[in-house]
Structure 1
Amino acid sequence: MNDGWDIPIGALLGREERMARYGGAKYGGIEPSGKSPNVFVYSDPSRGEAFGYNFDGWSPDGTVFLYTGEGRVGPQQMRDGNRSILEHRTKGRALRLFIAEGLILGTAQKNHRYIGKFEVDREQPYFLEEAPDELHELRTVFVFRLRPLGKTLQRNADQSSSGDVRIITEAVLSPLEAYVSRTFESPGTPATTAVRRESELCARYISYLGRPFQRWKITPAGETRSLLTDLYDQQGNELYEAKGTATRETVRQGVGQLLDYRRHITPKPSLALLLPHRPSNDLIDFLRDVGISCVFEEPGAGFSRINPPARQP
């Protein structure tokens, strides 16, 4: 069907001109048109990068373009623009993808390059990822999987830094990176302080035992991001999670991480929580109850360990 679309692949098209010719509002990232059978989708990876994530772009094999849904604060919802992408086929609309590129001459308005016509993948139209919002709170976002229809523009600069979702879970042993405080040079934030404390604690423990450790890199099925464990003792098949404090909150967080990691490792390892000092007796009882060893630093005396009771056959 001739829908009147005559913009060639790779052409630059400003929003105002597109609005005048084909409809759709001016400013949103996803703009359904009431004037033509189209949903205009605008990708601007720099916006996500400003908040610490970037899913947008072509998959490594070039078969799917990944596009982050709209919603700047809190978990994204399947409504408005996101819903218009998901339901574009039933509404008889094409997805027309643009990528931000420079400014329109003589203005402060962004220009956009037309990439081509797409549809959402019929088997897995989207997946969920975690990403910070404008308030820097972690939330879930939709990452749509767009399949090209006909010719499209594919450039190396438009590759997704995350890649497409994994079909099956992958867990591989990786070399342990050096735990040195100078690795974490960004000052001030609580997250950075916690990471630095954990890395320094791991370094002291490795030095105390005087033997090599590794770590697991786990990529769960249906996700793009890999999980990196802290320390793994291959000889004893024991997995450690390090925490920079021994508060109830961090102990509970560490327990959850260890249980999550262990699901993906074969054979299943024993678990240990590595702490900078002895936690309260109640937290030690908690770790014993869930079958996790507590390893903690003793001032001037190295490290001590409290193991859970042996499991009854």
Structure 2
Amino acid sequence: MSSPYEIAFEIGEIYDRRTQIHEPFGGSRQSGISPSAKAPAVFIFTGDSGEQFGYSDHFDDFGVFHYTGEGQVGHMQLRGGNKAVLEHSSNGASLHLFKALGKKAGKSLGQQYMGEFVCAGHVWKDGPDRKGSIRRIIQFHLLPIDRVNEATVEEATETPLPTSISEARALALKAMSSQEGAGASTTVRTIYQRSAQVKHYVLLRAAGRCESCGKSAPFLRKDGTPYLEPHHINRLSDGGLDHPRYVGAVCPTCHREIHYGAGGAEKNDQLRAYVDKLESSIWV
């Protein structure tokens, strides 16, 4: 499996789908949703093709991107690419959105990178398929990953979180389930709460010690708890939502080294192996 640190697209830049996305990372070159065959990532592609069927992908007033799933004929199904989007957080896969810029003189103008997102929920709607028959369409609610930053997560929890590690893990795993039928405004609020639940469990699991270097947290927070930072092992971006087996609790020094150090990728791989072993040994 390739390191997530090899996935370094720049927002706003234009990429050739064949040579710059699929050759390095694999996946289908035709589908609107393409799970990578070589890295923990799912690539999704949007454009104007859905408008002929009466729907279009778009950002709403809450900053949520409404993305229509794949399947041109008959009812859409929660399988294949749609399932990959729905379960990307549970599987520790980052979600990357590109916009097709169309063609000129029969030649593709490329794919503009729109950034990394998290699937926060989904709804079902009625709409025509390619043949004009009314069918069920799935629409995913995607939130840009930078909307879910650590400062927001700190303020997200409306109810006290459990102090029992087993109860905290159960809550974190429940947070992995996509919210079906929720409106966009609810999507934004609940994704912060769900992210906080995962973070809370991971910090309890670490018990005050960095899961990378093994040293005690460098200081205590104002509330008296050890200060460690959640690190999303399979993504360049921190924050958002991930399964606990793909999130480590690390000290600020290790965190910076993983992101910016010369040996960051190797250190990240060591953390991945440690957390995977830890989760497997504690929760059989």
TM-score, normalization: structure 1? 0.45
Q: Larger strand proportion, structure 1 or 2?
A: 1
Q: Larger helix proportion, structure 1 or 2?
A: 2
